[in-house]
Chains A and B, each alone.
Chain A
Amino acid sequence: MTPKKYLILFAITVFSTVGDLFLKKGMNQAEIISLVHPWVLLYALANPWIIFGVLILCCFFAAYISSLSWADLTYVMPATAFGYVLTALTSAVFLHEHVSASRWTGVLLISMAVGFVTRGPAKTVPPPEISVEAE
């Protein structure tokens, strides 16, 4: 693992957290979606928060597929779970929300998980020859 690869894992964490927050803000402003009129969902795509959220999630997507090209899925998932910690920390620091003892316990457990998994090998499935065309 090189510093650049750790940076990509960190980018996944940040982009997914911020992207989800933007989507939530946008969907709060959207009309209530019903199963009878599901196309209301398409109108929500014009909301600026949703557009920003989608742009940020495109950055997440690029970093995510890059990481999956050199690491296992079962490595990338826990390694990028730091997003939950990030959400709790930003809520406490920037939004001045009360973070309960239970939440700090969760933060500690997820941090331990990230520490555990990132110390192991990133890839256990042998990579294909580069000359081999993808299916």
Chain B
Amino acid sequence: MNRRPEVWLVLALFVLSTSAGDVLMAKAMGLIGDLGKIREREGTFGAIRRIFVSGWFWLAVTAMASSFFSLLTALNWADLSFVGPASSALTFILNTFAGKFYLKEQVTGRRWLAAALVCVGVFFISR
């Protein structure tokens, strides 16, 4: 497997853009509210309209598009068994911190433990 510097660079880009996309999308959907309830009140098109007028949604989509293209490049250069676990574990850690400090979610001991178990689990699966 090729692990040249470009692989690490594109992996870093993938992790950062994935994390940014996740956090911005969580921010957008948190501001919009429960889509199920909106759909009951305003119908499917009403729910879609609320999503499409959100600036945070389009910022998230931009970050996710960067994430998608960096993933394609990473998959072209390295194995899925390396790209998947390596990026997921890092994204998990970044997202958990962003959830607590930026999105102001109550990251309880249960959630920290779950995030840590997933990271360790991903490490074991990728060995």
The residues of A with any CB-CB pair to B shorter than 8 Å are: 20-21, 23-24, 27-28, 30, 32-33, 35, 38, 41, 44, 50, 57, 61, 64-66, 68-70, 72-78, 81, 84, 88, 100, 102-103, 105-110, 112-114, 116-117, 119-120, 124-125, 127-130, 132-135
Contacts and interface: CB of A to CB of B under 8 A. Distances in A.
A116 B29 CA distance: 24
Interface residues of B, number: 64
A135 B56 CA distance: 7
A135 B100 contact: no
A128 B37 CA distance: 12
A102 B113 contact: no
Given A44-B72, A106-B125, A120 B110 contact: yes
B75 A68 contact: no
B99 A74 contact: yes
Contacts of B95: 73-74, 77
Interface string B88-127: 1000100110111001111110110111011011111111
B1 interface: no
Looking at chain A's contact residues, is the secondary structure mostly helix, strand, loop, or mixed?
A: helix
B76 A27 contact: yes
Given A74-B96, A81-B118, A124-B106, A135 B55 contact: yes
A66 B84 CA distance: 23
Contacts of B105: 72-74, 124-125
Interface in B5-25: 6, 22-23, 25
**6 tightest A-B CB contacts, nearest first:** A106-B124, A106-B125, A109-B121, A113-B117, A124-B106, A110-B121
Contact of B117 (A23, A50, A72, A109): A109
B80 A21 contact: yes
Nearest to B115: A78
A23 B30 contact: no
A83 to B, nearest CB: 9
B115 A135 contact: no
B75 A27 contact: yes
Interface in B41-70: 41, 50-51, 53-57, 64, 68-69
